A = this chain, B = another copy of it.
Amino acid sequence: MFRLIATCQLLVANCQCPMVKTSVITIRDVAKEAGFSSTTVSIVLNNAPLARYIPAATKKRIEKAAKKLGYRPNLFARSLRSKRSHTVGVMVFDMTDPYCTLVLRGIENSLYQSSYLPILTDVHNERSRFERYLEMLLDRRVEALIVLANWLFVEVDVLADLERSSIPTIMIGRELQTDTVSSVVVDNEVGAYAAVEHLYLLGHRKIAFIRGPKTLADSAPRWRGIRSFAKSSGLELDPRLVLDLPESRDPISSFEAGYKLTEEWIKRKDRFYNPSLTAVRQPMDAMETMAVNIATEGINSVIEKRDLSAVHRKMVPEMVARESTRAFL
């Protein structure tokens, strides 16, 4: 038997086949090399509580042996015992949504800090795909689930499915009132309010608006913010200056429609126009960091068997004044 194994190793050492090094080295190999039991090796390498009692000399020998053999613990085995995957699921409803990339990078970055790895899934706004992915992620025991609601309508039953998922779940971009799913959203009302205020303070009184489609969850609170400012400041909202975007649910076409609308408007005035844009900036970094924080917090709750309840954060957007808005002189 020993002979056979020895032959295998030789064969392996000689062949170009890449599957060679796939960690044939187990904790027992390290134990043998160091001259201790695998128990001791495990305790030392994980710096478990019991490691307190183990003399430095023993630790040194074990660490040296581990390094020499290039030991890498088998995460399957580890996960099987610990029931932890060190993985979170990230669910996007439509990756082509321009909003997505930024959020994804933010999530990735936050997770990196805490040594989690994200499994990325794109639901393509399809119910069946959502179900399948949710199942797959739960099967893999992701420790938390971050859901990125896009501009579009998210069906209610999707939320219902998420609610019974039994792991910390965070939804970014959609306001929720449930107490089983956390949420992180931008405060559209405050943002819109600030935007109009900005213009108002620059001296503008005749302000035109392009309203987003009603099916978009973001549209309503923004309009609310605008009216709220108008009321408190006495600004008059001229109905002739309010245009509505078509009810399309495609973010790209919404962008284009908005662009075209603006263009026509400007063309009518026969003016060339390409300044940098004043905008209400969504606090991306802060939002994703928040999402991941909630995720890890939730994970910890589960580990420590504490009860966890959902968290809902509304982040305040920032007004960034640029060239496209200017005071009346």
- Let me know if B120 and A18 touch, CB within 8 A: no
The 8 A CB mask of A104-143 against B (1 = contact, 0 = none) is: 1100110010010111111010000100000011111100
The count of residues in chain A whose C-beta lies closer than 8 Å to any C-beta of chain B is 57
The 8 A CB mask of A44-60 against B (1 = contact, 0 = none) is: 00000000000000000
Q: Closest residue to A89 on the B side, CB-wise?
A: B117
Nearest CB in chain B: distance from A46 CB, A: 15
> In this assembly, does A14 line the interface, its C-beta being within 8 Å of a C-beta of chain B?
no
Nearest CB in chain B: distance from A137 CB, A: 8
Q: Which residues of B contact A140 (CB under 8 A)?
A: 75, 117
- Let me know if B302 and A18 touch, CB within 8 A: yes
CA distance A119 to B136 in the complex (A): 13
- Chain A contact residues, majority secondary structure: mixed
Supposing A19-B166, A19-B302, A141-B75 touch, asked if A117 and B122 sit within 8 A by C-beta, the answer is: no
Q: Which residues of A does B touch, CB under 8 Å?
A: 15-22, 72-77, 79-80, 83, 85, 87, 90, 95-96, 100-102, 104-105, 108-109, 112, 115, 117-122, 124, 129, 136-141, 165-168, 180, 263, 272, 274, 302, 305, 307-308
In addition to A118-B119, A272-B272, 9 A-B residue pairs with Cβ atoms within 8 Å of each other are A18-B166, A18-B180, A21-B166, A80-B80, A87-B119, A95-B108, A96-B102, A105-B122, A109-B124
